[in-house]
Amino acid sequence: MECEFPSVNSNKQEIQEIFDSVKTIAVLGLSPNESKDSHQVAKYLKEHGFTIIPVYPKEDEILGEKVYRSLLEIPFNIDMVNIFRKPAALNPIADACIEKGNIKVFWSQKGIVNNEAAQKAQDAGMKVVQNMCSMVEHRSL
């Protein structure tokens, strides 16, 4: 996939509203490796009062939380997906978010843009953030 610039994205005010309203965050691609960005971001968010739900194909527990293999396996509502996956994976993730329902925010991390998936998520009523680090944005508020 060639590089994309985000054509669908939230502004700073919407990002503030996201952090004010979100409580539960599914972190897709949360690595157990402490040196990885996904681990550091999830740890930061957990330390700042958010409930973190790891979604990863291996491991039973990361950051003291039960690991789920997929978004659709999570048996309760979540507010936001925080995505650490390649842009090509975002279309099926958007579909899973729509199928799961009740997800308010579709957030893809720094360097991850898929405008088709973002538009799909936005059309389904989710706020969309692309190509931004949730930890950096939270710190800046």
* pLDDT, averaged in runs of 10, over the chain (141 residues): 70 94 98 97 98 96 98 97 97 98 96 95 96 95 88
**CB distance 125 to 42 below 8 Å:** no
Specify the pLDDT at position 1: 42
According to the model, what pLDDT value does residue 46 have? Answer: 98
Residue 8 carries which side chain, given as an amino acid letter? Answer: V
Query: Which homologous superfamily does the CATH classification assign to the domain defined by 12-140?
Result: NAD(P)-binding Rossmann-like Domain (3.40.50.720)
How far apart are alpha carbons 118 and 91 in whole angstroms?
8
Token code pair at residue 88: 């090509």
Torsion of CA 40, 114, 138, 30, to 10 degrees: -20
Rounded to whole angstroms, how far apart are CA atoms 39 and 32? 6
3-class state of residue 64 by DSSP: coil
pLDDT of residue 81: 98
Nearest-CA neighbor of 40 among 141, 114, 138?
Answer: 138
User: Is the entire prediction scored with pTM above 0.85?
Assistant: yes
Report d(CA 80, CA 42) in Å as an integer: 13
Strands (E) located in the chain: 24-28, 51-55, 61-62, 65-66, 80-83, 105-108, 127-129
User: Any idea where the domains of the chain sit in the sequence?
Assistant: 12-140
Contact 133, 109 (CB under 8 A): yes
> How confident is the model at residue 7, as a pLDDT?
74
Q: What is the pLDDT of residue 78?
A: 97
Q: Which residues on adjacent β-strands are paired with residue 27?
A: 54, 82
